[in-house]
Amino acid sequence: MTLDPKIPSGPLSDKWDRHRFDSKLVSPANRRKHTVIIVGTGLAGASAAASLGELGYNVLSFCIHDSPRRAHSIAAQGGINAAKNYQNDGDSIYRLFYDTIKGGDYRSREANVYRLAQTSVNIIDQCVAQGVPFAREYGGQLDNRSFGGAQVSRTFYARGQTGQQLLLGAYQSMMRQVAKGSVTMFAQREMLDVVLIDGKARGIICRNLVTGQLERYVADAVCLATGGYGTAYYLSTNAINSNVTAAWRAHKRGAYFANPCFTQIHPTCIPVSGDDQSKLTLMSESLRNDGRVWVPKNAGDKRPASEIPEAERDYYLERKYPSFGNLVPRDVASRNSKAVCDEGRGVGDSGLAVFLDFQNAIDRLGHATVAGRYGNLFDMYKKITDEDPYTVPMRIYPAIHYTMGGLWVDYNLMSTVPGLHVLGEANFSDHGANRLGASALMQGLADGYFVIPYTLAHYIASTPVEKATTDHAAFAESEDNVQSRIDRLLSVKGSKTPRALHRELGHLLWDEVGMSRTEAGLKRALARIPELREEFWQNVSVPGDANNLNKNLEYAGRVADYLEFGELLALDALHRTESCGGHFREESQTPDGEAKRDDDHFAYAAAWEFQGVGKTHELHKEQFVFENVKPTQRSYK
Amino acid sequence: MNVHLKVWRQAGPAAPGGLVDYTATGVSADMSFLEMLDSVNETLIARGEDPIAFASDCREGICGTFGVMVDGRPHGPDPCTTVCQLHMRRYNDGDTIVIEPWQARAFPLIKDLVVDRTAFDTIIQAGGYTSVNTGGAQDANAILIPKTVADEAMDSAQCIGCGACVAGCKNASAALFTSAKITHLSLLPQGQMEAPTRVVAMIEAMDTSGFGGCSNEGECEAVCPKGISLKNIATMNREYRKALFANR
Ligand SMILES: Cc1cc2nc3c(=O)[nH]c(=O)nc-3n(C[C@H](O)[C@H](O)[C@H](O)COP(=O)(O)OP(=O)(O)OC[C@H]3O[C@@H](n4cnc5c(N)ncnc54)[C@H](O)[C@@H]3O)c2cc1C
């Protein structure tokens, strides 16, 4: 199968307009007759459900949480980008587009990224109309800040709870449609399979997490907005129920998985403290606007920060990257933290941390201003570490945070399975090999509010589907498939917990497919993962039964999927012998240790086709064509 | 350190429930409360026993998923702290901790520490939004909002919907939750147009969902992990009177 990204023709700035005009419409009177399933209620899923419900489609919405408002998007702290240029500091749609393409290290599609920049301005308008309480200036206008790797101030924020406020806005809009009857909400449902009829996505199988029953739902089209797979690494900043299950099960039904090795490691997280730790906490990137990153100049210097004189400190980001300083993109900041720790200059008990120091900012701006900007983050830090960042520098270390890879989609957000659309972090589309701060929220809402209402209409209007009910044989086949996997999980009755096995996989992925990757390490991972998978199916313990709330059973199912997915993650990383963005192959670096791309051989999206568990995936390539920007070696010096 | 737990176990809504004793061993000061519970469950699962059912997600105090009574107090001993952000350094070796689910008629029990809080969604469905469709919004800066007003709206909008206010109230009233949304939206020009219908509809939904009445004793404010103020309830009552007057 050749991958057709379906990029509209014409000049970059006209593509989306032209495409919308060329797209077919569903007449208002007919929309009610079309059912759309949307799995996931994060920013992408909730905004899509609300918008499609408003348009009059019959929307069925699903999430694993007890309320749609609890989707992982709620935890986003720092902000959302938009090319509003309210600050008159040189921003424009083209600049946001350019920054995003460059930030992604030229591994994304120009047309998608341009559309993202275009719709960004509408997102802010929409959210304000909903009553999202963004931060304001004294004159009453919206406030902006600059954020990770941007030289303009284009980030909108609501204290340190931007994701919460954006999600509540989308959730409330969706609840309005629930009240009107156009959206039906199915909370506490885990999608465990996509049902294909005639090769088209026509439904899903869910497990009702409260009763344990398997349920069938039929529709004209299916949208997945189920988030990223960062929890494959066990410890990450993601919420602990985040998973790859929905995407992976769709992959097994024919949706190609693209660029899984493009994972983002966030530079500013609270370091790991012990073996029992269940997740890592992000300290928002906005802290790097005023905090200065440093380590001691000398390896092994274990003095407390206050006893290390200025002359013996190395503000290594400021030193190496004079023009971006502490604001270099995430991949660059993370790799540099690892490098100084590898040199033995890391701080704290573990030596796996660097300082993020606010003394300068407090001296310059005063305690009150710093507290106003970061108070809640400082409080959170203190709760977790028992240290006060107003007086002692924070200790931070990189952690897995976001996944750029995901199910392959074309310009219409449709996967390689007709009718199966993928939105938000679950798709691979817009961030290339590295995502810039504050652009995931933007992408999720762009997909849901402003892209899918057009492209899904076109699909529905142009694709006749046969009338089907959940009695169709395809549903029975799918349900059997799901049931037998659940039965298998319960029947092992071993002695190792899913968590222990997950932790082991996570450590392996972090060590070998983490911040820095080598051929030898990736091969070790590829040899070890099948063994772990084998051990899982021989020795996992899943007590209880399937017909009621069984959190451990849910979790075991997700871990089982990670044990399959992890192999693809490592395989993709092994095949891409270049370094780009968050994917750093030690074999491919510039003399000063920066990521060295290989555009001649790797300017493509690697879209993998499932061949069976343990069998090597088949690689398909979507070549990226750059007509407007010229890929250059990124430099933040 | 070791801590003794008395945990509410109940297989389902109709099954009998009771406190069961566990001991969490080798607990470190840096562990979160949830990690301590994880460790107990790890032992149970490895032995093939049914683990304690509880739901958690972000573990950063923002998703509102995990909420339990710790020694009779929602979210435990620390003010303005969700129990997922509570760390074991707060406890001493040998302490006993009693852990129970939220108890309220409007939050039926599902299993062990997990309750059903769908009633909160029902309240929002009644009017916790502005009626704007996607598309066609005016430029965001065309609506000027004084910083102080935006900040106040944000203070109310911070509610995480965990249900501690209900669990902490002897009447199991949802007044703090409901009023926080009403206040957030009624402070802003975008929300003012629908303020009269919203307040009436949301209060009605609150009453019909099985929550009790508010007798203004302020336990909700005291246990709210996000510091949502009792002032919100006063605002709600004022908006309600305004609405009734306007509708007469
Ligand atoms: C701590 C943190 C801070 C962040 N801060 C920022 C920031 O400041 N700015 C920014 O731009 N980005 C930020 N991000 C990234 C951003 O939050 C996410 O990329 C984004 O919110 C993902 O949204 P989503 O809608 O794609 O998925 P999610 O919000 O993850 O939602 C997934 C949904 O799918 C459902 N689901 C999952 N699996 C299943 C299944 N099998 N069956 C049924 N339902 C399922 C879940 O219930 C949920 O509703 C941050 C991320 C983290 C971890």
Domain boundary among A345, A376, A401: A401
Residues of B in contact with A133 (CB under 8 A): 150, 153-154, 157, 184, 188
Q: How far apart are CA B82 and CA B74, in angstroms?
A: 9
A479 and A394 in a common domain: no
β-strand pairing of B96-100 with B3-10: parallel
A394 and A478 in a common domain: no
Residue B227 is encoded by which pair of tokens? 């510091």
Domain boundary among A401, A416, A435: A401
Query: pTM above the 0.90 mark?
Result: yes
A497 and A586 in a common domain: yes
Residue A169 CA to ligand 1 centre (angstroms):
15
Q: How far apart are CA B36 and CA B245, in angstroms?
A: 53
CATH number at residue A353: 3.90.700.10
A506 and A391 in a common domain: no
The neighbour count for residue A318, using CB atoms within 10 Å, is 15
Per-residue pLDDT, averaged over A58-80, amounts to 97
B81 and B185 in a common domain: no
Q: Is A150 in the pocket of ligand 1 (CB under 6 A)?
A: no
Give the DSSP letter string of A354-383. Answer: EEEE-HHHHHHH-HHHHHHHHHHHHHHHHH
State the ipTM, two decimals. Answer: 0.98
How close is the nearest chain B Cα to the Cα of A167, in Å? 11
Question: Are residues A111 and A11 in contact, defined by beta-carbon separation less than 8 angstroms?
Answer: no
pLDDT value for A150: 80
Distances (CA, A) of A620 to A293, A597, B9: 41, 20, 51
H/E element holding A104?
none
pLDDT per residue over A436-465, tens digit each?
A: 989 999 999 999 999 999 999 999 999 999
Confidence check: pLDDT of B248 > 80: no
Q: How far apart are CA A135 and CA A157, in angstroms?
A: 6
Sheet (strand A618-623) strand order: A406-407, A257-258, A604-609, A618-623
How close is the nearest chain A Cα to the Cα of B82, in Å? 11
Per-residue pLDDT, averaged over A596-614, amounts to 97
The neighbour count for residue A17, using CB atoms within 10 Å, is 13
Residue A202 CA to ligand 1 centre (angstroms):
24
CA nearest neighbour of A348 among A292, A387, A322: A387
Residues in chain A, total: 637
Position A147 confidence tier, pLDDT thresholds 50, 70, 90: confident
pLDDT value for A149: 65
pLDDT per residue over B53-99, tens digit each?
A: 999 999 999 999 999 999 999 999 999 999 999 999 999 999 999 99
CA nearest neighbour of A171 among B197, B247, B129, B66: B129
Domain of A309 in residue numbering reads as 265-401
Domain of B39 in residue numbering reads as 3-110
Count of domains forming chain A: 2
Per-residue pLDDT, averaged over A418-443, amounts to 96
Phi, psi dihedral angles at B198 (to 5 degrees):
-60, -50
Q: Between chains, do B114 and A549 touch, taking CB under 8 Å as contact?
A: yes
Greater confidence (A593 vs B81) lies with B81
Question: Are residues A437 and A149 in contact, defined by beta-carbon separation less than 8 angstroms?
Answer: yes
Is A591 inside any structural domain? yes
H/E element holding B91?
none
Place of tokens 């008629």: B105
Residues of B in contact with A68 (CB under 8 A): 121
pLDDT value for B247: 65
B228 and B121 in a common domain: yes
Q: Between chains, do B30 and A273 touch, taking CB under 8 Å as contact?
A: yes
B150 and B106 in a common domain: no
Count of domains forming chain B: 2
Residues of B99-121 as b/e, b for ≥16 C-beta within 10 angstroms? bbbbebebbebbbbbbbbbbbbb
Is A305 inside any structural domain? yes
Residues in chain B, total: 248
A482 and A588 in a common domain: yes
pLDDT per residue over A371-382, tens digit each?
A: 988 888 898 899
**Alpha-carbon dihedral of residues A311, A315, A321, A327, nearest 10 degrees?**
-150
pLDDT value for A380: 86
pLDDT value for A2: 80
Q: Between chains, do B190 and A131 touch, taking CB under 8 Å as contact?
A: yes
Question: Are residues A44 and A425 in contact, defined by beta-carbon separation less than 8 angstroms?
Answer: yes
Position A634 confidence tier, pLDDT thresholds 50, 70, 90: confident
pLDDT per residue over A490-534, tens digit each?
A: 999 999 999 999 999 999 999 999 999 999 999 999 999 999 999
Question: Are residues A485 and A558 in contact, defined by beta-carbon separation less than 8 angstroms?
Answer: no
Place of tokens 């930030």: A103
A480 and A390 in a common domain: no
- For chain A, the first-to-last Cα distance in angstroms comes to 42
pLDDT per residue over B197-245, tens digit each?
A: 999 999 999 999 999 999 999 999 999 999 999 999 999 999 999 999 8
Confidence check: pLDDT of A242 > 80: yes
Catalytic (active-site) positions of A: 330
Q: Between chains, do B111 and A497 touch, taking CB under 8 Å as contact?
A: no
Residue of A nearest to B188 (CA): A131
Residue A68 CA to ligand 1 centre (angstroms):
12
B98 and B127 in a common domain: no
Position A51 confidence tier, pLDDT thresholds 50, 70, 90: very high
Strand partners, A390: none
Mutate to test the interface with A, among B30, B58, B188 (most CBs of A within 10 A): B58
CATH number at residue B42: 3.10.20.30
pLDDT per residue over B116-144, tens digit each?
A: 999 999 999 999 999 999 999 999 999 99
Residue A448 is encoded by which pair of tokens? 């849901």
Question: Are residues B228 and B159 in contact, defined by beta-carbon separation less than 8 angstroms?
Answer: yes
Per-residue pLDDT, averaged over A405-411, amounts to 98
Q: Is A427 in the pocket of ligand 1 (CB under 6 A)?
A: no
Residue of B nearest to A178 (CA): B125
Crossing angle between the packed helical segments B231-247 and B175-187, to the nearest 10 degrees: 70
How close is the nearest chain B Cα to the Cα of A51, in Å? 6
- For chain B, the first-to-last Cα distance in angstroms comes to 64
B126 and B228 in a common domain: yes
pLDDT per residue over B129-182, tens digit each?
A: 999 999 999 999 999 999 999 999 999 999 999 999 999 999 999 999 999 999
Residue A435 is encoded by which pair of tokens? 């995502």
Q: How far apart are CA A3 and CA A409, in angstroms?
A: 9
Q: Between chains, do A175 and B42 touch, taking CB under 8 Å as contact?
A: no
CATH number at residue B126: 1.10.1060.10
Q: How far apart are CA A584 and CA A594, in angstroms?
A: 9
Q: How far apart are CA A212 and CA A551, in angstroms?
A: 11
pLDDT per residue over A246-290, tens digit each?
A: 999 999 999 999 999 999 999 999 999 888 899 999 998 889 989
Position A201 confidence tier, pLDDT thresholds 50, 70, 90: very high
